[in-house]
Amino acid sequence: MNRRQLLNRGLLTAGALSLGKAIQATNAIFSVNTEQSFSHSACRWCYQDIPLEELAERGASIGLQSIELLRPDEWSIVQAKGLQCAVATDQFANIQEGFNNRKNHASLQAAYPELIRGAADAGIPNVIVFSGNRNGMKDSKGLENCARGLAPLVKLAEEAGVTIVMELLNSLVDHKDYMCDHTAWGVALVNKIGSPNFRLLYDIYHMQIMEGNLIDNIRQNHEYIAHYHTGGVPGRREINASQEINYPAVVQAIADMGYTGFIGQEFIPSYSNKLEALQEGLQICSIAD
């Protein structure tokens, strides 16, 4: 064996040792929390062709614990099957016409109290709201308007023990012109309102499209987040290896932050058996003991 061969072997050995240490370090990082403290949910609208009672019954059999984005007349259907509703909604919760427009305040402030009180009575932890579209409005103005419009409802939520969540959505692909489209803007609104009963719904799909850097953003802002949604990028299909987000790593980061709420599957199944796709999503988002 000549000197070059010895040198190459030495470099390979050193490289293998370094790689081994790197793998051990990576495993240490992602094994901080191996107990799953959160629960599994699914968004109703992704399974509209399945009767709700059937979806609840079959969902429970594959490990689902909640079906969300349900209206008040639907809550008892899933609860009768032993499931929860993680997020309540109703017809007036409008993505385009939200709290950033003061013209909407009167109607929204009149409609939401019944939903908030009903959610509290039904044991539902979250009620969803939306910023609305910009329509030429500056983000700073929209922030002020949202804070003003939400103030009386947040006070009511505090009394009822319910959390109002504003969803972060992308404005590039699915919801053109939507204002609450970056984590920083949502965090600024949470800080301005200053209540533990107002938080963000962090949609992983939408935020991958808008800003990426998912794990870092979650780690830095987890205290502002009360709920999570999933979806594969691109296309909002299954969250498996066919798309670009490393969901096991993202979910582990969420668990490592001590999250105890729900992770809601909000992808549109492409499988002929939609419940099989949902079961796969639940398995991908599960932390092994």
Provide the token pair at 268.
Answer: 């549109």
The pLDDT tens digits of the residues spanning 241-252 come to 999 999 999 999
Q: What is the C-alpha separation between 52 and 131, in angstroms, rounded? A: 28
User: By three-state DSSP, how is residue 98 classified?
Assistant: coil
Tell me, what's the pLDDT at 179?
98
The pLDDT tens digits of the residues spanning 116-147 come to 999 999 999 999 999 999 999 999 999 999 99
- Given a cut of 70, whether residue 14 has pLDDT beyond it is no
Q: What is the C-alpha separation between 283 and 288, in angstroms, rounded? A: 10
Domain boundaries, the chain: 1-30, 37-284
- Given a cut of 70, whether residue 9 has pLDDT beyond it is no
- Given a cut of 70, whether residue 30 has pLDDT beyond it is no
- Given a cut of 70, whether residue 109 has pLDDT beyond it is yes
Q: What is the C-alpha separation between 218 and 235, in angstroms, rounded? A: 22
Provide the token pair at 281.
Answer: 């999503």
Q: Please report, for residues 3, 37, 224, 228, the alpha-carbon distance to residue 168 in angstroms, rounded to integers and kept in the order given.
A: 60, 23, 12, 10
- Given a cut of 80, whether residue 262 has pLDDT beyond it is yes
Q: Please report, for residues 151, 202, 222, 260, the alpha-carbon distance to residue 256 in angstroms, rounded to integers and kept in the order given.
A: 32, 16, 10, 11
Provide the token pair at 155.
Answer: 């006070």
User: By three-state DSSP, how is residue 6 classified?
Assistant: helix
Q: What is the pTM of this model?
A: 0.88
Q: What is the C-alpha separation between 198 and 155, in angstroms, rounded? A: 10
- Given a cut of 90, whether residue 38 has pLDDT beyond it is yes
- Given a cut of 90, whether residue 34 has pLDDT beyond it is no
- Report which of 54, 129, 147 is spatially closest to residue 90, judged by C-alpha positions: 129
* Averaged pLDDT score across all residues of the chain: 91
Tell me, what's the pLDDT at 36?
79
- Is 1.10.10.10 the CATH number for 37-284? no
Tell me, what's the pLDDT at 25?
37
